[in-house]
């Protein structure tokens, strides 16, 4: 009886539990609670794992120490070169080219014949003028003879003084005509001289567009050639208004002329980027700014003993600037925000901080810094793209001298 009773009770309990789970709303609540607990536990585990993944070790970045130094930087400006003297050789009389004594590109000395124009017409003009002069002088002598004849007759009161006065006026007229004829002879001789065209200065002959037998005229738009004295070359370059103000502030002197004298020697970079061996001197500043481009032109003179430079060459003028007690920072160590240049400086606890810097000059690879950082500061060399203030890094020091040796200023 006892066993039967227990068995019956067990069956009753099972039936009761089965009724509970068969109740669909209750079953749904339990399932939801289990699932929620499971996800909560999984979420906590994931959060802990994620926190561990978001804390990577600090990056190892190269760091160098900056120090004060003195250096020279250059500003470059496009320049156009011209000879000391550039003369357009033009005919002063009309005629056919009878002779060309020189070739294009030849060096000529002052006074050397260059061209000759057919002179036959001008020789005849000289002969004609001389003939007119001879006739005028004969008339003058005839008038003088008449004066000599009438003078004693007037003194003896044989004839009226009016006749003598008339003779004197005729002499004066004949004398003036003789002088005019003399001037005509001079003009004819000058024109004859113009038929032989000589070099006014020593220099090199340019292109000769006219050939032998060409008809040339003093009204031609094109010259016979261009003669350039290139013993000294002038390089003309322009500065904008801000550059010109900075240029004046760089050098000592109370006047612009004094400042120009204190400008150090400048260099000329040729079109092939080679540096001309002779240094030049800035000597002249134009009197006013060109309103159309807002610039003023300066001139630097360069000796040209070998004649390597010619009129029409182009290049770049390099103006040197001495910088004392400046800091040298590679450009790849900087970044820009709103037209300001920044660097990351290593601070305490190996944390970095961004600082703006004031640039006094630059080369193709380096900035020369006048303010913002100081000697002894440690600068992050590269890998700054993902850095931010107060970020911790592992510094890898290296000497800045090694960088300057690998990539000089």
pLDDT in tens, 155-178: 998 999 999 999 999 999 999 999
Q: Residue 266's domain is classified under what CATH number?
A: 2.40.30.170
Q: Which among 300, 322, 344 is the end of a domain?
A: 322
Looking at residue 37, its pLDDT comes to: 34
* Residue 251 and residue 207 share a domain: no
Looking at residue 22, its pLDDT comes to: 42
Residue 21 counted as domain residue: no
Q: Is 369 exposed, middle or buried (0-12, 13-18, 19+ CB in 10 A)?
A: buried
Give the residue among 98, 96, 309, 106 at the shortest CA–CA distance from 225.
106
Looking at residue 54, its pLDDT comes to: 63
Looking at residue 249, its pLDDT comes to: 84
Residue 259: domain span: 76-82+232-322
H or E segment and range at residue 89: strand 68-89
Looking at residue 35, its pLDDT comes to: 40
Residue 3 counted as domain residue: no
pLDDT, tens digit, for every residue of 104-143? 989 999 999 999 999 999 999 999 999 999 999 999 999 9
* Residue 195 and residue 292 share a domain: no
Residue 46 counted as domain residue: no
* Residue 102 and residue 203 share a domain: yes
Kindly write down the DSSP assignment for every residue of 217-286, as one continuous string: -TT-SS-SEEEEEEEEEEEEEEEEHHHHHHHHHHS--SSHHHHHHTSPPBEEEETTSPBPSS-BEEEEE-
Residue 225 counted as domain residue: no
* Residue 274 and residue 183 share a domain: no
Identify the segments of the chain with pLDDT beneath 70: 1-55
CB 300 within 8 A of CB 234: yes
Looking at residue 213, its pLDDT comes to: 94
Planar angle of CA 27, 32, 34, nearest 5 degrees: 95
**What count of other Cβ atoms lies within 10 Å of the Cβ of residue 227?**
25
The Cα–Cα gap between 25 and 33 comes to 13
Give the residue among 116, 115, 108 at the shortest CA–CA distance from 201.
108
Looking at residue 36, its pLDDT comes to: 39
Looking at residue 55, its pLDDT comes to: 66
* Residue 331 and residue 315 share a domain: no
Residue 8 counted as domain residue: no
Looking at residue 286, its pLDDT comes to: 83
Looking at residue 405, its pLDDT comes to: 83
Number of domains in the chain: 3
* Residue 239 and residue 185 share a domain: no
Looking at residue 44, its pLDDT comes to: 44
Q: Which among 216, 241, 261 is the end of a domain?
A: 216
Looking at residue 170, its pLDDT comes to: 95
Helix (H/G/I), strand (E/B), else coil: 29: helix
Residue 48 counted as domain residue: no
* Residue 212 and residue 150 share a domain: yes
Q: Which among 162, 186, 216 is the end of a domain?
A: 216
Looking at residue 41, its pLDDT comes to: 40
Looking at residue 31, its pLDDT comes to: 34
């Amino acid at each position: 009886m006892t066993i039967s009773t227990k068995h019956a009770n067990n069956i009753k309990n099972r039936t009761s539990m089965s009724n509970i789970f068969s109740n669909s709303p209750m079953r749904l609540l339990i399932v939801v609670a289990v699932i929620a607990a499971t996800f909560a536990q999984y979420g906590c585990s994931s959060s802990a794992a994620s926190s561990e993944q978001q804390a990577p070790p600090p990056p190892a970045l190269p760091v160098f120490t900056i120090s004060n130094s003195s250096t020279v930087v250059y500003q470059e400006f496009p320049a156009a070169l011209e000879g000391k003297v550039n003369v357009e050789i033009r005919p002063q009389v009309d005629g056919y080219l009878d002779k060309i004594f020189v070739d294009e590109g030849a060096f000529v000395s002052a006074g050397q014949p260059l061209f000759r124009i057919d002179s036959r017409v001008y020789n005849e003009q000289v002969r004609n003028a001389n003939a007119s002069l001879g006739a005028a002088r004969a008339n003058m002598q005839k008038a003088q003879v008449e004066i000599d004849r009438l003078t004693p007759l007037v003194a003896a009161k044989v004839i009226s003084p009016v006749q003598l006065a008339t003779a004197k006026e005729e002499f004066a007229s004949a004398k003036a005509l003789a002088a005019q004829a003399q001037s005509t002879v001079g003009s004819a001789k000058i024109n004859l001289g113009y038929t032989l065209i000589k070099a006014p200065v020593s220099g090199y002959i340019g292109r000769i567009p006219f050939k032998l037998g060409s008809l040339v005229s003093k009204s031609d738009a094109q010259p016979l050639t261009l003669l350039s004295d290139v013993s000294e070359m002038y390089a003309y370059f322009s500065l904008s208004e801000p550059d010109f103000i900075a240029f004046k502030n760089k050098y000592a002197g109370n006047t612009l002329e004094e400042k120009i004298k204190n400008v150090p020697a400048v260099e000329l970079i040729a079109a092939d980027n080679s540096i001309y061996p002779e240094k030049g001197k800035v000597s002249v500043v134009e009197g006013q700014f060109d309103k159309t481009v807002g610039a003023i032109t300066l001139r630097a003179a360069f000796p040209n003993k070998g004649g390597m430079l010619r009129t029409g060459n182009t290049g770049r003028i390099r103006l040197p600037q001495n910088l004392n007690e400046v800091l040298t920072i590679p450009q790849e160590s900087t970044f820009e925000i709103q037209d300001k240049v920044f660097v990351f400086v290593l601070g305490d606890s190996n944390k970095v901080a961004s600082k703006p810097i004031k640039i006094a000059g630059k080369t193709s690879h380096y900035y020369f810094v006048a303010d913002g950082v100081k000697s002894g500061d440690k600068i992050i060399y590269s890998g700054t793209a993902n850095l931010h203030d107060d970020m911790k890094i592992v510094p890898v020091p290296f000497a800045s001298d090694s960088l300057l040796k690998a990539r000089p200023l």
